[in-house]
Amino acid sequence: MARPSFDISVLGPSTRVTGRLTGAGSLRVEGSVRGDIQISGDAEIAEGGSVEGNVTADALEIAGTLLGDVVSGGPVAIRSGAVVRGELRGSEISIEPGSRVSARLVADFELDLGPLPPIAAAKRR
Amino acid sequence: MSQSSVIGAGTIVRGNVEGEGSLEIFGRVEGDVSMGGEVMLGEGGAVRGNVSGEKISVHGAVLGDLLATHAVLLERGAKVVGDLSAPRIGIANGALVRGTVRTEGEPALAAPNKRAATAAVFKPSAFAAKPVAKAEPKLVPPAEPVEEDEGEDEDEDEDEDYDYDQQREAAVMPPARPKEKEPERRPPPPVLPSLGKGAKAKKKKHRD
Amino acid sequence: MAGTVIGEGLSIEGDVTSDEEVVVQGNLRGKLTSTDAVSIGPSSVVQADITGQSVSIAGQVVGDITAPERVDIQAGGRLVGDVKAARFTIADGASFKGAVDMEV
């Protein structure tokens, strides 16, 4: 598939995919996917949709269920009603009330609060 | 009757801060922050401890957990190593976070600081870079309730052989507290939690 | 109107099952089963057995096709595999190699 495509793919509500989805273009999952998704477009897990696997995309919107890790080049928006478990990585992450999220956020950085100035007679520390 | 408090940029608080109103932090807190209202951590501000409030917005650095009844917002420039728990969570572009995020969909968590009792409002004047314990040495388990996971906070606290009442009476930070008790979990109140830089983060990962 | 559309840029490796119409414009390697119509577009490259109420092929398919109603290979389409269907058409310009069973 040499041609770049910006189509939107849709997996309807009764569609089940067991396997990997890769490619260009955007994807809307209304059914269920068990396997990894790796696309260079926007991914959306619609309400009622579910993905059990990792998702890599340019942006991700989740209103359904995601059990797996997310790597987004852009935003990750978790809507009310979503269920998300896994690791989240994205440029910005928003989580709305009514969602059920239990996820790890991973960013590689050092957090150095800096030294505290000494205190006279400080015993602790 | 919400009052607003401010910990200025040149101020360092070594101990817990607690109150019913809102709080802006531009300086440094080595201890837990537990407010009934909003907590805003400015860009140069830093907290090494847990923070709980109705709404927490972070522009600075936090080494500890954030627990809110309404929302936790990390803005650009924020650096957080710790867990986030609130019905609404926003992490803006440019914010760095390492930890778990939890929201169980129930909006009204018990307000984090119900401990009106000891009027533990920190008094700005008392903090001018002094290690004096703030008015309230008492151990304030950051937040009740929330999700079962957050319950850990309290449990841990309970576990400590820390006698709250006694401390309350003492009205002084108990320096002798064996802090290292839980080096990785949140810094036990009063004393400075000397956490290794990555200790808490590491521990948090395991926790999840 | 198709319930499921696998766009041109998408590749699926694995099994797909559905109760809706499925339109494939991308690539598929594995298996595709639907209780409704299946359509393989001209840009598709499919390596899978396909089962649908009816199956229309305008792309390239290697696999066996089963459809109670009908199978049609469009001009430009190419199928290498067996066909089992009540009706079967191969348009002028289509390619086909395989066995055909039209017994319903």
Residue C36 is predicted with a pLDDT of 96
Q: Are residues B33 and B103 in the same domain?
A: yes
**Count of domains for chain A:** 1
Task: Give the mutation candidate from A8, A15, A34 for the C interface (greatest C CB count, under 10 A).
Answer: A15
Contact across the interface for A105 and B81, Cβ inside 8 Å = no
Question: Percentage of chain B with pLDDT > 70?
Answer: 49
Instruction: Determine, yes or no, domain membership for B9.
Output: yes
Contacts of A125 in chain B (CB under 8 A): 191-192, 194
Give domain status of residue A59, yes or no.
Answer: yes
Identify the helix (H) or strand (E) that includes residue B12: strand B12-14
**Residue B103 sits in the same domain as residue B123:** no
pLDDT mean over B121-127: 44
Rounded to the nearest angstrom, the minimum Cα separation between B124 and chain A is 17
pLDDT computed for residue A6 by the predictor: 57
Confidence (pLDDT) at B197:
53
Lowest mean per-residue pLDDT among A8-12, B1-5, B70-74, C58-62:
B1-5
ipTM: 0.87
Residues B11 and B102 grouped into a single domain: yes
Distance (Å) from the alpha carbon of A18 to chain B's nearest alpha carbon: 27
How many domains is chain B built from?
2
In a domain, B204, yes or no: no
Residues B96 and B143 in one domain: no
Confidence at residue A121, expressed as pLDDT on a 0 to 100 scale: 56
Please answer yes or no on whether A10 and C8 come within 8 Å at the CB atom: no
Q: Do C4 and A19 touch (CB under 8 A)?
A: no
Q: Are residues B88 and B31 in the same domain?
A: yes
Specify the 3-state DSSP secondary structure of C37. coil
Domain boundary among the residues B53, B86, B107 is at: B107
Which domain-ending residue is among B85, B107, B129? Answer: B107
| Domain finish residue from B61, B91, B107 | B107
Check if the beta carbon of residue C30 is closer than 8 Å to that of residue C48: yes
Range of the domain at B119: 112-174
Same domain membership, residue B91 and residue B34: yes
On whether residue B73 sits in a domain, the answer given is: yes
More confident: A121 or B113: A121
A-chain residues near B208 (CB < 8 A): 102, 104
Lookup result for tokens 């101020």: B11
pLDDT at position B164 over 50: no
Nearest to B104 by CA among A103, A26, C94, C89: A103
Interchain CB contact of B104 with A (< 8 Å): yes
Residue A3, pLDDT > 90, answer no
- What pLDDT is recorded for position B82? 96
Q: Residue A123 and residue B104: Cβ atoms within 8 Å?
A: no
A35 located within any domain = yes
| B50 and B10, same domain (yes or no) | yes
- Separation in Å, CA B8 to CA A114, B42, B49, B88, B124: 17, 10, 18, 28, 9
Closest chain C CA to residue A8: C7
Q: With beta carbons less than 8 A apart as the criterion, state whether B139 and B164 touch.
A: yes
Q: What is the DSSP string of A57-121?
A: ESEEEESSEEES-EEESSEEEE-TT-EEEEEEE-SEEEE-TT-EEEEEE---------PPPP-TT
- The reply to whether B46 falls in a domain is yes
- Sorted by where each begins, the domain ranges of chain C are 4-92
Cross-chain Cβ contact A110/B197 below 8 Å: yes
Mean pLDDT score of chain B, rounded to an integer?
A: 69
Q: Give the minimum alpha-carbon distance from A72 to chain C in angstroms, rounded to a whole number.
A: 18
Position A110 scores a pLDDT of 83
Residue numbers in A near C15 (CB within 8 A): 16-19
Residues B118 and B154 in one domain: yes
Q: Are residues B149 and B64 in the same domain?
A: no
Q: Helix H segments across C19-73?
A: none
User: By the CB < 8 Å criterion, does C7 face chain A?
Assistant: yes
Q: Domain check: are B13 and B95 in the same one?
A: yes
C-alpha to C-alpha distance for B182 and A31, rounded to whole angstroms: 45
Question: Choosing among B93, B101, B191, which should be mutated to test the A contact, i.e. which has the most A CBs within 10 A?
Answer: B101
> Distance between CA atoms of B98 and A111, rounded to whole angstroms?
10
Identify the band that residue B180 occupies on the pLDDT scale cut at 50, 70 and 90: very low
Asked whether residue B160 is domain-assigned, the answer is: yes
CB B94 within 8 A of CB B108: no
pLDDT in tens, B59-84: 999 999 999 999 999 999 999 999 99
From chain A, the residues in CB contact with B89 under 8 A are 93-95, 101
Q: Does residue B196 fall inside a structural domain? A: no
Amino acid in the structure at residue C91? A
pLDDT computed for residue B145 by the predictor:
41
Give pLDDT, residue A108.
77
A45 in a structural domain: yes
In a domain, residue A3? The reply is: no
In the predicted structure, residue C35 carries a pLDDT above the cut 70: yes
Query: Quick one: tokens of C101?
Result: 């069973």
For residues B38 and B24, what is the distance between their CA atoms, to the nearest angstrom?
A: 8
Q: Dihedral of the CA atoms B190, B192, B194, B197 (nearest 10)?
A: 100
The A residues from 36 to 65 touching C (CB cutoff 8 Å) are: 39-41
Is C22 within 8 Å of A14 when comparing Cβ atoms?
no
Domain boundaries, position A108? 8-124
- Asked if residue B170 has pLDDT above 70, the reply is no
Taking residues B177-199, what's their average pLDDT?
48
Q: Which of A80, A94, A113 is closest, CB to CB, to B48?
A: A113
Predicted confidence (pLDDT) per residue in A23-75, tens digit: 999 999 999 999 999 999 999 999 999 999 999 999 999 999 999 999 999 99
Same domain, B100 and B17: yes
Residues B78 and B122 reside in one and the same domain: no
Whether C9 and A20 lie within 8 Å, measured CB to CB: no
